[in-house]
Amino acid sequence: MKRVFLLIATNLAVVLVLSIAWNVLDSLFGISRILVGMGLPAHFGYVAIMALALGFGGAFISLWMSKWMAKRSMGVQLIEKPATAQEQWLLETVQKQSGMVGINMPEVGIFHSPEPNAFATGARKNDALVAVSQGLLDQMTRDEVEAVLGHEISHIANGDMVTQTLLQGVLNTFVIFIARVVGYLVDSFLSRGEENNEGGVGIGYFVTSIIMDILLGFLASLIVMRFSRWREFHADEGGAHLAGKQKMIAALKRLQKAETGHDMPGELAAFGIAGNGMGEGLKRLLLSHPPLEERIAALQAKPDNAFAF
């Protein structure tokens, strides 16, 4: 659960920083007065434009920083000149699979963790990163590693990073807009009868907006996690196409035996190959990955010829 809350906190932090920046600019340049002068409603036009800018701004800043942050937060060592036969095989496998799905070869790296895990990230399909843990290389056979690489390459080819960013942007926009509309309504109710010719707001607006940001942000995260679980099934199918159904099932079973938590920070939480455990009730709704047994069962239910490339 720690990494899920880190993911939620990252998005909320970006939106909060951008909200502060917007308020500073509005104070300096009178943006809201300009919008009113253009004929927009006194508050709601400003709020809508602000919500759109901040909602997508926060999501896309996270996306564009994702590869840079991944390298530093996970200590990824890029394989530029392979020093071992294993590193050479990793590069050749990623190159072959990326060619099969029609994308440029991503950067390939290794991060030092005893737990078996891997992730893919990047703002564009043709400028991505695939990284595997040393624990994954130590504990899996080459067939299983090949399937894991296929899973991550499928994430890139499917455009999962961009799709999740767009979804997050839309949800952020609605969260910001609705929170501030409710804030205005509550503040208007609390200050009814008072003259306010400047169109300003009181403490009721700020307190209500913050509370609604938190509540609606949490609800939005449930939708994002639902999409994250859905795309894991598709990436598993992609791994089965690229490496073979049995190899993909074997890799998931290996992860099932080794599952101990697999903490990865921030945005990377939703892009690791390993699941984030079991959950019931609300905890299950916050999982970024379906339970491994469900992923295995989904692959087993499909005929072998469904994965012919």
Whether pLDDT at 224 is above 60 = yes
Ordered alpha helix ranges (H), 158-202: 160-190
Order of all β-strands in the sheet with 127-133: 77-78, 107-111, 127-133, 118-124
What is the per-residue pLDDT across 8-32, written as a single tens digit (0 to 9) for each? 555 556 556 656 766 676 677 776 6
Mean pLDDT of 39-43: 48
The pLDDT score that the predictor gives to residue 118 is 92
Give the active site residues: 152
pLDDT category, 134, cuts 50, 70, 90? very high
The pLDDT score that the predictor gives to residue 165 is 83
The three-state secondary structure class of 127 is strand
Per-residue burial over 242-265, b if 16 or more Cβ lie within 10 Å, else e, is bbbbebbbbbbebbeebbeebebe
Global pTM reads 0.75
DSSP assignment letter at 263: -
The pLDDT score that the predictor gives to residue 1 is 41
Whether pLDDT at 261 is above 70 = no
What is the per-residue pLDDT across 164-178, written as a single tens digit (0 to 9) for each? 888 888 888 889 888
Mean pLDDT of 62-73: 82
Whether pLDDT at 40 is above 50 = no
The pLDDT score that the predictor gives to residue 139 is 93
Average pLDDT, the chain: 81
pLDDT category, 200, cuts 50, 70, 90? low
Beta-carbon contacts of residue 17 (< 8 Å; ≥ 6 apart): none
Residue 125, token pair as written in the block:
């399909």
